[in-house]
Copies of this chain bind each other. A is one copy, B any other.
Amino acid sequence: MSSKRLFWDIYEKIASAIQSKELVAGQRLPSERELAETFNVSRPTIREAIIALEVKELVEVKTGSGVYISNKANTLCHTKQVNPFELTQTRALIEGEIAACAASSINKTELDQLAQTLVDMQTNSKVRQADREFHQIIASATHNNAMIQAVESLWKLRSEQTNNTNESDDICINEKQKTIEEHKNILTALKLGDANKSRQAMHLHFNRMINQLFDESESKAFEEIRLKHSAKRGKYSIDQFTNRSV
């Protein structure tokens, strides 16, 4: 089945041409009629591809004039790869601060919701979803929409990177008990309204995940990869951010 629609092919060809700098910002695309002939498709198909490009903000359409490469096309195409270590470290720092912030603004309803996610996780139904909800509820508890968005964008980043979804997802599921215990510690700190303890508990949670990522890599990967990762272990440690004086 599948059979992607034709315009996606055209879309990808033009998009990759932009990405590879064959088409520069500000440059005008050939007319729809020319493109139709070039790709051996009809004009409506070309139009659909252009609309897809426009929605993705890679091009700008000017009536009567033509289609032009957007000036932000380069930055948008430039969605760099993010490895699991980078992502986890970033989540640690950001969600650590969010936990500290939430400690003083979380209410009883949200505390109850957090407790519920622990139950959900224990009963083995949708472990992954319960994990995600836990972190999102804490973000919501800051009552700051920008922080909520920040957490969501990191989660989105995770799902966009196909290479790390499996790895880090496995960690949550395989080490369910550890995850639950750490979540419980975070919840306890939040209940106390203690910003520092909340941050610390959150850091411990992610720190364990990072170390586990290394361990899994080491046990699975070849020797050379193991060495490479071991060298990086220091780089991605977050210990230095957890304990600090004024």
Contacts and interface: CB of A to CB of B under 8 A. Distances in A.
Looking at chain A's contact residues, is the secondary structure mostly helix, strand, loop, or mixed? helix
Counting contact residues on chain A (CB < 8 A from B), the size range is 35 or more
Contacts of A127: none
Contact of A87 (B48, B96, B146, B244): B146
A157 interface: yes
Contacts of A80: 145, 148-149
Nearest to A61: B5
A67 interface: no
A149 B157 contact: yes
Interface stretch (A30-38, A49-57, A217-225): A49-57
B104 A240 contact: yes
A101 interface: yes
A243 interface: yes
Contacts of A101: 93, 241
Given A44-B44, A48-B47, A244 B149 contact: no
B144 A149 contact: no
Interface in A14-71: 44, 47-48, 51-52, 55-56, 61, 63
B144 A154 contact: no
A90 interface: yes
A97 to B, nearest CB: 4
A90 B150 CA distance: 8
Interface of A: 3, 5, 7, 44, 47-48, 51-52, 55-56, 61, 63, 75, 79-83, 86-87, 89-91, 93-94, 96-98, 100-101, 104-105, 144-150, 152-154, 157, 195-196, 235, 240-241, 243-246
The 6 closest A-B pairs by CB, nearest first: A90-B146, A93-B97, A55-B55, A153-B153, A86-B146, A80-B145
